[in-house]
């Protein structure tokens, strides 16, 4: 059977002159956006540019917007999520709403379970049959009877897609779906999206990852400060051009000038081994040095730094500033002067429900206590105000609950909390994952500032341009082993990628 080729058709959704204000502040200023059948239209911009606000208008979460919306050629006004779903519009948020303890079939049919012969009973055979029909129609590889909690994040996302389009969905919105995915899961999701295109479904796709756009998008619209800067066909949407539209500067201009000067050794790792995960990892980190660690997903790079920080058990020696870390644990390493920004900031990062000030001070509560040992609110606030200024957290209210900040600003709070503890060595594992280009530039500058202060920096990143632009040296990890070491400034992205793949130098 010949492969179906996606064909982009007529405009099914058109938003014109959309305006939305919050307490007198205009978040959207006469924005135009449209989606055609069988296409993926990407929406990009910095945090605060208005992307999520525009999609929330489309999702029916606001009924006080201005402007016109047309769907399937008819003028409509979206006022609530149920109306939106009934029209055939579904939104897949970054925070999935699947229920992990239920099966795939139960999640797909959740809220629409077929009734059984007895009152209140569910016909499980019919439920399974209907869910199976949805999966077959979509072409997804999903186990009907498997618990969702056993699936990868990408396949959980497919379950949510199947749930959303079990009815006749015409437009599907993805909000940062790849922010927490590895490369293999990203490809699985993209394959599913390409398949949906062949079925005539139009998609809006919000992302921070500019490198994804040529692989998945047909058009790109850029928002900046609540305004639509322009819409480009993907063939014209080069990364430098998109960066210029979003920021007013090119990608090369985002990276700070290399001005750090590595000094004496501060961290020595010798023979670090965890059988079956990584083996015989040795290196030296110097004061004022940015040491990059590169590798494909599954290479063992994250497990290595977690073992150095004491979050995972491993054999081998680690010596920090002349003192051996014989009893490695996160608490012990912190006390010795090491900090780590972990990859999963939602699980290992900020404490939701608490203020920015408390999150910034949580690691140094002993220093913020008063004379009799009780926490001193004034000290907590003063500490927060200093770090908010340094990290340029916005908004700058120290009493604001941390989960109300954008993803980029939440990341700044995590980094700021560690800086309050004044570590000698900082480990950054994917620090720019899921944040906008403008916030990335601020974090790049911060990394350079920390190195210039004499701190040793270990940087893991899947964005190879970050490593080649920031690192002084790059360790390449393949299959849990150190494959080679490359000079950061003299290495191009293509060379680094080749070193990380099977064809790279051993």
Residue closest to 159 by CA, chosen among 184, 177, 176? 177
Assess whether 303 and 432 both reside in one domain.
Answer: yes
Q: Does residue 97 surpass a pLDDT of 90?
A: no
Averaged over 37-62, what is the pLDDT?
89
Assess whether 70 and 116 both reside in one domain.
Answer: yes
Assess whether 435 and 415 both reside in one domain.
Answer: no
Q: Tell me whether residue 357 is in a domain.
A: yes
Assess whether 410 and 437 both reside in one domain.
Answer: no
Assess whether 18 and 116 both reside in one domain.
Answer: yes
Q: Does residue 167 surpass a pLDDT of 80?
A: no
Token pair, residue 83, equals 């109306």
Averaged over 258-280, what is the pLDDT?
95
Of residues 284 and 175, the one with the higher pLDDT is 284
Instruction: Note the maximum CA span of the chain.
Output: 78
Task: Return the percentage of the chain with pLDDT > 70, whole number.
Answer: 91
Q: Tell me whether residue 4 is in a domain.
A: no
Q: Tell me whether residue 5 is in a domain.
A: no
Q: Where a domain ends, among 233, 250, 267?
A: 250
Assess whether 102 and 16 both reside in one domain.
Answer: yes
Tally the domains of the chain: 3
**pLDDT score at 505:** 40
Assess whether 502 and 367 both reside in one domain.
Answer: no
**pLDDT score at 185:** 65
Averaged over 24-31, what is the pLDDT?
90
**DSSP-assigned letters across all residues of 233-281:** EGGG--HHHHHHHHHSS-SGGGSPP------SEEEEEEEEEETTTEEEE
239-248: list long-range contacts, CB under 8 Å, 24+ apart: 239/210, 239/211, 242/44, 242/210, 242/213, 243/210, 243/437, 246/44, 246/45, 246/46, 246/49, 246/222, 246/436, 246/437, 246/438, 247/46, 247/437, 247/438, 247/441
**pLDDT score at 223:** 93
Q: Does residue 506 surpass a pLDDT of 60?
A: no
Of residues 177 and 53, the one with the higher pLDDT is 53
Helix 183-198 and helix 153-164: axis angle, to 10°? 20
Averaged over 326-334, what is the pLDDT?
86
**pLDDT score at 3:** 46
Answer whether 472's CB lies under 8 Å from 489's CB. Answer: yes
Assess whether 416 and 431 both reside in one domain.
Answer: no
What is the C-alpha end-to-end distance of the chain, expressed in Å? Answer: 42
Of residues 235 and 366, the one with the higher pLDDT is 235
How confident is the prediction for the chain on average, in pLDDT? 86
Residue closest to 154 by CA, chosen among 185, 182, 190, 183? 185
Q: Where a domain ends, among 231, 250, 269?
A: 250
Least confident of 50-59, 65-74, 385-394: 385-394
Assess whether 416 and 428 both reside in one domain.
Answer: no
Report the sign of the C-alpha dihedral through residues 239, 243, 248, 253, in that order.
negative
**pLDDT score at 434:** 67
Tell me the per-residue pLDDT of 211-235, one tens digit each, with 9 for 90 and over. 789 989 999 999 988 999 999 999 9
**pLDDT score at 357:** 87
> Which CATH number does the domain housing residue 238 bear?
3.40.50.300
Averaged over 36-50, what is the pLDDT?
88
**pLDDT score at 122:** 87
Tell me the per-residue pLDDT of 404-450, one tens digit each, with 9 for 90 and over. 887 778 888 888 888 888 899 999 998 887 677 778 888 899 999 99
The rounded distance, in Å, linking the Cα atoms of 189 and 182 is 11
**pLDDT score at 243:** 80
Assess whether 156 and 220 both reside in one domain.
Answer: yes
Q: Tell me whether residue 1 is in a domain.
A: no
Assess whether 315 and 376 both reside in one domain.
Answer: no
Of residues 455 and 46, the one with the higher pLDDT is 455
Q: Tell me whether residue 481 is in a domain.
A: yes
Q: Where a domain ends, among 229, 250, 271?
A: 250
Its pTM surpasses 0.85: no
The rounded distance, in Å, linking the Cα atoms of 281 and 268 is 11
SS3 content of the chain, % helix, strand, coil (to 5): 35, 25, 40
Residue range(s) defining the domain that contains residue 269:
255-337+424-506
Assess whether 357 and 488 both reside in one domain.
Answer: no
**pLDDT score at 250:** 66
Report the helix count and the strand count for the chain, using DSSP H and E: 18, 20
**pLDDT score at 271:** 96
**pLDDT score at 196:** 87
Tell me the per-residue pLDDT of 478-502, one tens digit each, with 9 for 90 and over. 989 999 999 988 898 778 888 887 5
Q: Please, what is the Cα angle at 385 between 381 and 388, to 5 degrees?
A: 130
**pLDDT score at 180:** 60
Q: Tell me whether residue 6 is in a domain.
A: no
Q: Does residue 504 surpass a pLDDT of 50?
A: no
For residue 235, the tally of other CB atoms under 10 A from its CB is 9
Residue 176 neighbours by CB under 8 Å, 6+ apart: 94, 206, 207, 208, 434
How far is residue 193 from each of residues 196, 199, 200, 365, 416, measured CA to CA in Å? 5, 10, 11, 47, 38
Q: Tell me whether residue 342 is in a domain.
A: no
């Amino acid at each position: 059977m010949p492969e179906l080729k996606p064909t982009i058709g007529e405009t099914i959704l058109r938003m014109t002159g959309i305006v939305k204000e919050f307490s007198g502040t205009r978040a959207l200023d006469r924005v135009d956006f449209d989606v055609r059948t069988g296409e993926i239209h990407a929406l990009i911009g910095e945090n605060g540019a208005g992307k999520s606000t525009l999609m929330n208008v489309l999702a029916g979460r606001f009924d006080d917007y201005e402007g016109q919306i047309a769907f399937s050629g008819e003028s409509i006004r979206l006022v609530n999520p149920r109306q939106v779903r009934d029209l055939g519009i579904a939104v897949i948020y970054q925070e999935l709403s699947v229920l992990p303890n239920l099966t795939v079939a139960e999640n797909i049919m959740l809220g629409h379970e077929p009734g059984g012969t007895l009152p209140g009973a569910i016909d499980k055979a019919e439920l399974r049959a209907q869910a199976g029909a949805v999966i077959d129609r979509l072409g997804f590889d999903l186990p009907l009877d498997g618990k969702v909690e056993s699936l990868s994040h990408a396949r959980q996302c497919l379950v949510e897609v199947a749930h959303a389009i079990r009815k006749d969905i015409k437009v599907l919105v993805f909000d940062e779906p790849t922010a927490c995915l590895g490369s293999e899961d990203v490809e699985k999701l993209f394959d599913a999206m390409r398949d949906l295109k062949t079925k005539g479904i139009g998609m809006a796709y919000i992302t921070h990852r500019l490198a994804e756009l040529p692989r998945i998008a047909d058009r790109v619209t850029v928002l900046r400060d609540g305004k639509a800067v322009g819409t480009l066909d993907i063939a014209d949407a080069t990364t430098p051009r998109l960066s210029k539209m979003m920021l007013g500067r090119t990608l090369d201009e985002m990276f700070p000038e290399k001005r750090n000067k590595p000094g004496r050794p501060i961290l020595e790792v010798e023979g670090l081994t965890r059988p079956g995960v990584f083996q015989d990892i040795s290196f030296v980190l110097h004061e004022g040095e940015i040491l990059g660690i590169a590798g494909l997903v599954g290479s063992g790079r994250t497990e290595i730094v977690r073992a150095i920080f004491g979050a995972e058990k491993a054999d081998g020696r680690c010596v920090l500033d002349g003192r051996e870390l014989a009893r490695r644990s996160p608490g012990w390493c912190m006390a010795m002067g090491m900090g780590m920004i972990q990859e999963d900031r939602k699980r290992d990062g900020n404490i939701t429900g608490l203020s920015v000030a408390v999150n910034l001070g949580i690691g140094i509560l002993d220093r913020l206590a008063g004379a009799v040992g009780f926490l001193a609110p004034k000290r907590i606030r003063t500490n927060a105000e200093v770090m908010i200024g340094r990290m340029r957290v916005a908004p700058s209210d120290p009493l604001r609950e941390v989960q109300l900040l954008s993803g980029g600003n939440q990341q700044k709070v995590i980094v700021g909390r560690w800086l309050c503890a004044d570590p000698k060595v900082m480990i950054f594992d994917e620090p720019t994952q899921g944040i906008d280009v403008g916030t990335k530039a601020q974090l790049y500058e911060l990394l350079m500032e920390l190195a210039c202060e004499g701190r040793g920096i270990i940087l893991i990143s899947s964005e190879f341009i970050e490593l080649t632009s920031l690192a002084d040296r790059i360790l390449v990890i393949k299959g849990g082993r150190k494959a080679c070491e490359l000079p950061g400034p003299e290495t191009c992205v293509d060379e680094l990628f080749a070193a990380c793949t099977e064809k790279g130098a051993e």
